[in-house]
């Protein structure tokens, strides 16, 4: 067992790493300083590494005996969000912020790497530290890293997210824990004209208004209440003047589902609804539909093993049961290849410290020792 005080000894380092990453956030596939820092810290720990997918980094640590190869993933990229909290280590890059805890994910996995490197003579197996770029920007960095061989020799992958759950509570779900993530763009082409003479036009704005409402019926009237589906229109653009009916409207949105059947049906119904609605208004509609990320699935056997191992050194009240989330993560690509377990650690509720993807989010650094020790112990035990 890795001693609790060891994670406390490196707590100051983990905080300093997290604050560095927070000050210098970088967007997807632009994480050059971030990648360089990770490489330097791995080298300092005596851990060999390889650069993949442009900015991604894979560290490798050999234990002192045969065992399984366990990988731990941390995502690297920040979000195009302006930080609204005045911190001494606030983002130095205007309009870019680590608002989804990726700075803490990287610091935690570096802490795990340091703990395991110190104990390598007492460990069996092999450990890989996967720092993956561009999680926030589909198609993401996990898939190109898989294609580059990052998990060819891996037996399982652990993932994390410091989430807006009650502080220091841990959720280890089984089966599908995050949704399929799809994106679509709808273009409606009509006939524009003067706003005073709408009868001489085929108004794509009115068609778009009806379409937005009709798309919601895919969820409310065509999907069983026992199934989970989201269809969201997040962007609507049409026209430039108050008295001109444009000839074009563009809608962008996302669909979220948990199963392959629902995913296919929702896509089909979006296409059919667009076609029929536009035809009714004398317009033409086209749909560009992209399947961004697959559902994130925790292997039931691995999740059960992880829960059992975690319960050996954490109090029973550390664990919390919450529903799966309609959010997504390119970590789901790992789950298509090897057994995975993605764990959520509470950093405090959104009311306490602001929601993820918000310029007001403040990360509670006091949860870092828990996350660091948890993943170090899990990796060491799973590799035995």
Q: What is the DSSP letter of 46?
A: T
Average pLDDT rounded to a whole number, residues 208-228: 97
Cα distances (Å, whole numbers) of residue 97 to 37, 56, 80, 260, 276? 17, 19, 6, 34, 42
Tokens encoding 7: 């994670």
Instruction: Reply yes or no on whether 289 is catalytic.
Output: no
Q: Where do the H-state alpha helices sit in the chain?
A: 4-9, 11-23, 32-44, 102-118, 142-147, 204-220, 260-280, 300-311, 332-335, 350-353, 368-382
4-178+296-382, superfamily in CATH?
Answer: Zn peptidases (3.40.630.10)
What share of the chain in percent tops pLDDT 70? 98
Triad 295, 298, 303: Cα angle to 5° = 170
Q: Which pLDDT score is estimated for 4?
A: 56
Dist. CA 107–CA 376, nearest whole Å? 13
The three state secondary structure string of 218-251 is HHHCCCCCCCCEEEEEEEEEECCCCCEECCEEEE
Which positions ≥6 away from 72 have C-beta within 8 Å?
A: 109, 112, 127, 128, 129, 130, 157, 158, 159, 160, 375, 379
Average pLDDT rounded to a whole number, residues 362-371: 95
Q: Does 5 score more than 60 pLDDT?
A: no
Nearest CA among 163, 135, 16 for reference residue 77:
135
Instruction: Give me the DSSP letters along 123-173.
Output: --SEEEEEEE--TTSTT-SHHHHHHTTTTTT-SEEEEEEEESSSTT-EEE-
Q: Does 44 score more than 80 pLDDT?
A: yes
Q: Which pLDDT score is estimated for 286?
A: 98
Average pLDDT rounded to a whole number, residues 186-206: 98
Residue of 13, 185, 275, 365 with catalytic role: 365
What share of the chain in percent tops pLDDT 90? 95
Q: Which pLDDT score is estimated for 6?
A: 67
Cα distances (Å, whole numbers) of residue 197 to 202, 244, 277? 11, 9, 22
* pTM for this entry: 0.94
Q: Does 3 score more than 80 pLDDT?
A: no
Phi, psi of 24 (to 5 degrees): -125, 60
98-119: per-residue pLDDT in tens? 999 999 999 999 999 999 999 9
Instruction: Reply yes or no on whether 293 is catalytic.
Output: yes
296 Ramachandran zone, left/alpha/beta (phi>0; psi -120 to 50): beta
251-280: per-residue pLDDT in tens? 999 999 999 999 999 999 999 999 999 999
Could you state, in order of their start, the residue ranges of all structural domains in the chain? Answer: 4-178+296-382, 180-292
Triad 304, 262, 176: Cα angle to 5° = 10
State yes or no: cis peptide before 251, omega within 30 of 0.
no
CB 117 within 8 A of CB 41: no
Average pLDDT rounded to a whole number, residues 273-293: 98
Domains 4-178+296-382 and 180-292 share a fold: no
Q: Answer yes or no: CATH 3.30.70.360 is held by domain 180-292.
A: yes
Residue of 26, 31, 293, 305 with catalytic role: 293
Within a 13 Å sphere around the CA of 194, how many CA atoms are in the beta-carbon half?
Answer: 2
Q: Which pLDDT score is estimated for 352?
A: 87
Q: Which pLDDT score is estimated for 81?
A: 97
Dist. CA 340–CA 384, nearest whole Å? 17
């Amino acid at each position: 067992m890795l001693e609790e005080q060891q994670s406390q000894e490196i707590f100051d380092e983990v905080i300093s790493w997290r604050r560095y990453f927070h000050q210098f956030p970088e967007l997807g596939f632009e994480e050059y300083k971030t990648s360089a820092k990770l490489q330097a810290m791995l080298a300092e720990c005596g851990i060999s590494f390889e650069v993949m997918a442009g900015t991604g980094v894979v560290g490798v640590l050999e234990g002192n005996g045969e065992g399984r190869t366990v990988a731990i993933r941390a995502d690297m990229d920040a979000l195009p969000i302006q930080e609204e909290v005045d911190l001494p280590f606030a983002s130095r890059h205007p309009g870019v912020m680590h608002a989804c805890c990726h700075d803490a994910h990287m610091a935690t996995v570096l802490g795990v790497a340091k703990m395991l490197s110190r104990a390598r003579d007492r460990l069996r197996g092999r450990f890989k530290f996967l720092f993956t770029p561009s999680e926030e920007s589909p198609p993401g960095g996990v898939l190109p890293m898989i294609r580059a061989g990052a998990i060819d020799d891996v037996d399982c992958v652990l993932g994390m997210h410091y989430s807006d759950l009650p502080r220091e509570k841990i959720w280890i779900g089984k089966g599908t824990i995050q949704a399929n993530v799809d994106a679509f763009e709808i273009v409606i082409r009509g006939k524009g004209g003067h706003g005073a003479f709408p009868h001489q036009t085929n108004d794509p704005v009115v068609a778009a208004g009806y379409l937005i409402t009709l798309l919601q019926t895919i969820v409310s009237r065509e999907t069983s209440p026992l199934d989970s589906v989201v269809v969201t229109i997040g962007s609507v653009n049409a026209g430039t003047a108050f008295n001109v009916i444009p000839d074009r409207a563009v809608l962008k949105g996302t669909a979220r589902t948990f199963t392959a059947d629902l995913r296919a049906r929702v896509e089909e119904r979006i296409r059919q609804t667009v076609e029929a609605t536009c035809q009714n208004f004398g317009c033409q509609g086209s749909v560009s539909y992209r399947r961004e990320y697959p559902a994130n699935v925790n292997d039931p056997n691995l999740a059960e093993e992880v829960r059992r191992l975690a319960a050996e050194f954490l109090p029973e009240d550390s664990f919390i049961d919450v529903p799966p989330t309609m959010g997504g993560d390119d970590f789901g690509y790992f789950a298509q290849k090897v057994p995975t377990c993605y764990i959520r650690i509470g950093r405090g509720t959104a009311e306490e410290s602001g929601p993820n993807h918000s310029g007001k989010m403040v990360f509670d650094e006091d949860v870092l020792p828990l996350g660091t020790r948890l993943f170090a112990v899990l990796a060491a035990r799973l590799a035995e």
